[in-house]
Amino acid sequence: MKTIILVLFLLLPAAAWSQEAGLQFEQANQLYRNGDYRGAAKLYEQVYSNGYEHPALFFNLGNAYFKLNDIPSALLWYERAKRLSPDDEDIAYNIRIANLRVVDKIDPLPQVFLARWWNSFVLLLSADGWATAGILCLWGAAVAGMIFVYFRSLLVQRLALLAAAVCLGAAAVGFVTMSQERHLERDESSAIVFAPTVSVKSAPDPQSVDLFVLHEGVKVDLLDVVGEWRKIRLADGKIGWLGSSAIRAI
């Protein structure tokens, strides 16, 4: 396992952390270093319950639960950290390690090349990163426009016009990917199975046919809800229904 992220609250965005939250975060880090993983997890959870969200907080919370051998909780917090920081290699590594402890090994369906490429492209930057890139491209287009106006050379004007068009196109892509990345960060359409063993049903009815069995730690997509039942899909395409109490949304 990768070590915890020891981030001082003064180094984190002021909007995301208060002084009290930062102190609690550092206290939790110290408890983790001292081997008190349960105490660390409790403090990390307290910071979260006070309304603070940050990849480092979720990552460290996942590590604390992994040390406690609570794999479903570890995966839940790692996945939440990944949602906020999708390109973080440490988070991806810890998810792979934790998944080795999950009983069910599910092979995902192969993605269409273009879809796989686009998803990888979107995850290159965070939503804020794409927003910054879009704004910079708009500035580039503005500069190109000024060059077009103030220079009389036909070649320079054509190059400036081309540069402006490229910058505007790049800005549009930046803002579209920002929107999609923001949606992914706020998306709650996936969950982790917390029940040690649960039978997935063919319909939202306890008397319906058992389709297959899942064990704790499996990640599922959430498709629909009927009362206390959730329709789920696995990475391999299998679909069924299980009780809401068996899962926790990422």
Going by C-alpha positions, the residue among 219, 230, 247 that lies closest to residue 106 is 219
pLDDT at 5: 53
Which residues constitute the domain of residue 170? 113-186
pLDDT at 134: 86
pLDDT at 64: 98
Do residues 15 and 68 share a domain?
yes
Do residues 181 and 204 share a domain?
no
Is 205 a domain residue?
yes
- Residue by residue, what is the 3-state secondary structure of 125-153? CCHHHHHHHHHHHHHHHHHHHHHHHHCCC
Do residues 173 and 210 share a domain?
no
| φ/ψ (deg, to 5) at 214 | -120, 155
Cα–Cα distance measured from residue 59 to residue 131, given in angstroms and rounded to the nearest whole number: 24
Task: Please give the tally of structural domains in the chain.
Answer: 3
pTM: 0.69
Our CA dihedral for 50, 55, 60, 65, rounded to 10 degrees, sits at 80
Do residues 133 and 146 share a domain?
yes
> What is the CATH classification number for the domain harbouring 34?
1.25.40.10
pLDDT at 214: 97
Do residues 148 and 88 share a domain?
no
Is 64 a domain residue?
yes
Do residues 220 and 155 share a domain?
no
Is 35 a domain residue?
yes
Report long-range pairs for 27-32 (Cβ below 8 Å, ≥24 apart): 28/60, 28/64, 29/4, 29/60, 32/4, 32/60, 32/63, 32/64, 32/67
Residue entry with tokens 């996945």: 79
SS3 96: helix
User: Tokens in use for 218?
Assistant: 């499996």
Residue that is last in its domain, among 40, 70, 99: 99
Helix %, strand %, coil % of the chain (to 5): 55, 15, 30
**Residues with pLDDT less than 50, the chain:** 7-16
Chain segment 193-215, per-residue pLDDT in tens: 999 999 999 999 999 999 999 99
Is 4 a domain residue?
no
Do residues 83 and 125 share a domain?
no
Is 176 a domain residue?
yes
pLDDT at 11: 44
> What is the CATH classification number for the domain harbouring 199?
2.30.30.40
Cα–Cα distance measured from residue 173 to residue 183, given in angstroms and rounded to the nearest whole number: 15
Give the orientation angle of helix 55-67 with respect to helix 71-84, to 10 degrees.
160
